[in-house]
Structure 1
Amino acid sequence: MSTPTTSFGRDAAAAIARSKNEPDWLVAWREEAGELATQLDLPKPEKLPLTRWTLDQYGAYRPGRAVASKADLPAAISALLPEEDSGTLIVQHNSSVIYTQLSDELKAQGVILTSLEDATRNHEELLRKHFMTAYARDEHKLAAVHAALWNGGVFLYVPRNVTIETPIQALLFADDAEATFMPHILVIAESNSRVAFVEQVASSLDAATSTLLHNSAVEVFAKSGAIVRYAAVHQMDASAIDIAYRRAILDSDARIEWIVGDLHNGNSITDTKSVLKGNGSTSDSKIISVGTGNQRMSLTTQAVHFGRSTESNMITRAVMKEEATAIINGVTKIEKGATKANGQQTEKVLMLSPKARGDANPILLIDEDDVKAGHAASVGQVNADQVYYLMSRGISRKEAERLIIHGFLDPVVSEIPLKGLREQLHRILERKLG
């Protein structure tokens, strides 16, 4: 079933939902989101005129072919999977989830791993309590479009006191530039649970003439004492636009670790935000990006402190080549009443070309006196003294610069919780950095 949605609004959103036999509540919900999409404005990232981007090619619902085993996955997808098998895997191909693997042991403990579409039918109460409450559909036009058109997606539920020892893997893959590719990932970690989640987004679009719009969202809910480690690597073709909004809501003593490799080859907007609602909650965000060609990127990391004795740390490192441009924003917001909060952030940009540009904008918004907050930002070229030192040890200039750049990015790369994906990330970096 293919339902074109280039002309999009309330009726189109409802028609797509009905064509997939979705529950009545979801049909109405999408219908309302479709109406919002006609009313709301696009977000306005600094120095990034989105009106020039192709953001209205929403594609058609084109599901992949479901398979019964990992061995039956398409070769292009299998090639992206790390060699080590964590035993838990979910795969989306274009507009639908085609494969899910969850061990009997985790099922027996009450862990749920399924497509978000399946969760709307089989886990409705739990889903509706959380779905798009951290990332609201009325936030802006892109959020409303996502709410109306999301497909496939991931639903992960980790019960109270359950520790998942190996990372949950999610591979989201597109090879049809005319497909609707808008996955939504929802992670609910109950009190004192532990989980690591690895999201990989990739495409193989060859010489596609259409623009693939990847309009995605992640919502993580970490209940009291829960620890969630969320790693994401995005590596799509230059003809794709990458929109990624990530949100985490933290209860008392909960912790979120964001480890993000924004290595997409085309234009992108990413916004990663932690809301430290509960006392003693913590957020640690590490993000890297490499811009090449004439890429245009907006990378925002945020931490909002509501609870007392909360801590946030944000590190963003970007490398800009050729004529690439990146606007890097770090926002620490400490609300009134969040006493003893501590928010720190660092943004660093390496410029490898005189025509490349990277703007680092640290922002502190403090509404409470009894807190700690700090920021650091730098934009510059590869350190000449470091290059000279390495060359004095017999290393060529090119290799010296390569080593310095990899060392600059390593604080994030080394934190990826799957060895195979870390190695793949190194290969991506070698390719992008030349």
Structure 2
Amino acid sequence: MSTQTILPIDRQSVTERSQASREPEWMTAVRLKGLELAGTLELPKLEKTRIDRWNLESYGTYRAPGRLNGTEELPEAVRSLAGDSAQGNQLIQKDSGTVWARVSEELASQGVIFTDLETAVREHGDLVQKYFLKAVAQDENKLTALHSAVWNGGIFVYVPKNVTVELPLQALFVSEEANASFAPHVLLVAEANSSVTYVDNFITAGNAESLVASSIVEVFVKPGAKVRFASVHNMSVNVTDLSYRRAVVENDGSMEWIIGEMNAGNGMSDTTSLLKGDGSFSDMKVICVGNGEQKLNLTTRNVHFGKMSSSDMITRAVMRESATAIINGVTKIEKGATGANGQQTEKVLMLSPGARGDANPILLIDEDDVKAGHAASVGQVNPDQVYYLMSRGISKEEAERLIIYGFLAPVVSEIPLPQLEEQFQRLVERKLGQ
């Protein structure tokens, strides 16, 4: 299959795009290699999901928007997510490029780099090149290859050794103009004994038609570092959301994922921690609410290489109407990872007769001296719980709502930014028709 049948881009346009952005030669070469690989590699094979039947051709065209003078110029639907334009550290990407940046002098004085990835490629090229596409391989499949050719905007975070970033770093990715390409790449490096919280939000504010949103996150957690990564995806029904998130965690490093999959259209996400170091730790919390005709395939994965490494993952999915979700939890303990401990729980709550949810816990153990466990359940709202609450004077509708929120609470309560948590609550209510 030629790349021309997949997206409206060719070798010349890739080269011109790279040169117009004043990218170094090595990045131009990466993009061209990605385009070449896309013509030969296959799509990823997902559990019980025919991704080849999805819209995977409408990547749009690169359209760099003008800069904003302030967050008040954002579309009304996303303005509240930007918060106070005078506080915090924040980057905003609209469509194919960055339109707003606010970085405090204190952050810069600590040696922290927080900028869009396109700028980082020009100004911190050696550092970016060292890590770019090293956690998610360019040749992993057709989707990763295409992303490497068309990525735009994105975020680069670098936290020096022994530095603690007190306030969360925030990014807002907004798709507004129809047929504008939307492919952010987030690259985060936390050096030894550093600490940082990063929060982002993906949202559709315009009338995106048959658009593929392609995003990749790469996180590198050095020895003793702590990274907390929270992300909520809220793209429209016409957007196919394809997301790869991957962290490489070294000795005694800690990686925490808090993910909200709240899209209205079809979506695939793969969130993985590679526990390379001894004593490394990964914690994943994922929430998903599906409705309409959505088809979702969500994978969380912890791979243990280091001795005494530990991991935990919790996934909660609520399906209504005719939505379908395949929830995969994978714990892999490699040979030599003695003393490793991997735990996982997947739960799916179905609210409609036509909804479908599959929970697939997978343990792959190649070492004897380890602990591993899993729990999975798929079911409907417990009528006994509804009856109990109704016996206390609560209406049936309110009782079901309380049960659903209690079901989702283990993830919602962990969101590290108040306005994001509030938005999360609103999204849940909207998707549940409440």
* Alignment TM-score > 0.5, same fold: yes
Partner of 1:389: 388
Which deviates the most, 80-89 or 334-343?
80-89
Q: How does 1:35-434 map to 2 (within 5 A)?
A: 35-82=36-83, 87-206=88-207, 208=208, 210-434=209-433
Tell me how far apart the structure 1 counterparts of residues 288 and 77 of structure 2 sit (CA, whole Å).
24
Q: 1:196: Cα distance to partner?
A: 0.6
Q: 1:72: Cα distance to partner?
A: 4.5
Secondary structure at the counterpart of residue 336 of structure 1? coil
Report the AA paired with residue 337 of structure 1: G
Report the AA paired with residue 320 of structure 1: M
Secondary structure at the counterpart of residue 173 of structure 1? strand
Q: 1:82: Cα distance to partner?
A: 3.8
Q: Aligned pair in 2 of structure 1 residues 255, 201: CA closer, same or farther (>3 Å)? A: same
Which deviates the most, 375-384 or 77-86?
77-86
Q: Aligned pair in 2 of structure 1 residues 184, 125: CA closer, same or farther (>3 Å)? A: same
**Structure 2, unaligned runs of 5 or more:** none
Report the AA paired with residue 256 of structure 1: M
Secondary structure at the counterpart of residue 39 of structure 1? coil
Contact 2:81 2:419 in 1 (8 A): no
Per-residue CA deviation, residues 189-220 of structure 1 (Å, 9 max, x unaligned), is 111111111010001233x5x31111001011
Which deviates the most, 349-358 or 22-31?
22-31
Secondary structure at the counterpart of residue 403 of structure 1? helix
Tell me how far apart the structure 2 counterparts of residues 395 and 85 of structure 1 sit (CA, whole Å).
43
Secondary structure at the counterpart of residue 402 of structure 2? helix
Tell me how far apart the structure 2 counterparts of residues 74 and 387 of structure 1 sit (CA, whole Å).
40
Contact 1:84 1:420 in 2 (8 A): no
Q: 1:84: Cα distance to partner?
A: 9.2
Contact 1:100 1:113 in 2 (8 A): no
Tell me how far apart the structure 2 counterparts of residues 205 and 7 of structure 1 sit (CA, whole Å).
21
Contact 1:82 1:421 in 2 (8 A): no
Tell me how far apart the structure 2 counterparts of residues 275 and 68 of structure 1 sit (CA, whole Å).
40
Tell me how far apart the structure 1 counterparts of residues 100 and 85 of structure 2 sit (CA, whole Å).
17
Per-residue CA deviation, residues 21-40 of structure 1 (Å, 9 max, x unaligned), is 32211111110110000010
Secondary structure at the counterpart of residue 79 of structure 1? helix
Contact 1:11 1:34 in 2 (8 A): no
Tell me how far apart the structure 1 counterparts of residues 32 and 137 of structure 2 sit (CA, whole Å).
15
Q: 1:54: Cα distance to partner?
A: 1.2
Q: 1:81: Cα distance to partner?
A: 2.2
Secondary structure at the counterpart of residue 47 of structure 1? coil
Report the AA paired with residue 226 of structure 1: A
Tell me how far apart the structure 1 counterparts of residues 206 and 323 of structure 2 sit (CA, whole Å).
22
Tell me how far apart the structure 2 counterparts of residues 390 and 290 of structure 1 sit (CA, whole Å).
23
Q: Aligned pair in 2 of structure 1 residues 5, 377: CA closer, same or farther (>3 Å)? A: closer
Q: TM-score, normalization: structure 2?
A: 0.96
Per-residue CA deviation, residues 39-89 of structure 1 (Å, 9 max, x unaligned), is 101111122112211111111111121134444545444233245975100
Q: 1:9: Cα distance to partner?
A: 4.7
Q: TM-score, normalization: structure 1?
A: 0.96
Contact 1:224 1:252 in 2 (8 A): yes
Tell me how far apart the structure 1 counterparts of residues 345 and 76 of structure 2 sit (CA, whole Å).
40
Tell me how far apart the structure 2 counterparts of residues 87 and 243 of structure 1 sit (CA, whole Å).
29
Tell me how far apart the structure 1 counterparts of residues 431 and 358 of structure 2 sit (CA, whole Å).
20
Tell me how far apart the structure 2 counterparts of residues 77 and 63 of structure 1 sit (CA, whole Å).
19
Tell me how far apart the structure 1 counterparts of residues 419 and 190 of structure 2 sit (CA, whole Å).
25
Tell me how far apart the structure 1 counterparts of residues 56 and 287 of structure 2 sit (CA, whole Å).
24
RMSD: 1.7
Contact 2:78 2:205 in 1 (8 A): no
Q: 1:18: Cα distance to partner?
A: 2.8
Tell me how far apart the structure 1 counterparts of residues 219 and 341 of structure 2 sit (CA, whole Å).
22
**Structure 1, unaligned runs of 5 or more:** none
The number of equivalent residue pairs is 430
Q: 1:177: Cα distance to partner?
A: 2.5
Q: 1:20: Cα distance to partner?
A: 3.0
Contact 2:243 2:270 in 1 (8 A): yes
**Percent of residue pairs identical:** 56
Q: Aligned pair in 2 of structure 1 residues 84, 258: CA closer, same or farther (>3 Å)? A: farther
Tell me how far apart the structure 2 counterparts of residues 318 and 147 of structure 1 sit (CA, whole Å).
30
Report the AA paired with residue 321 of structure 1: R
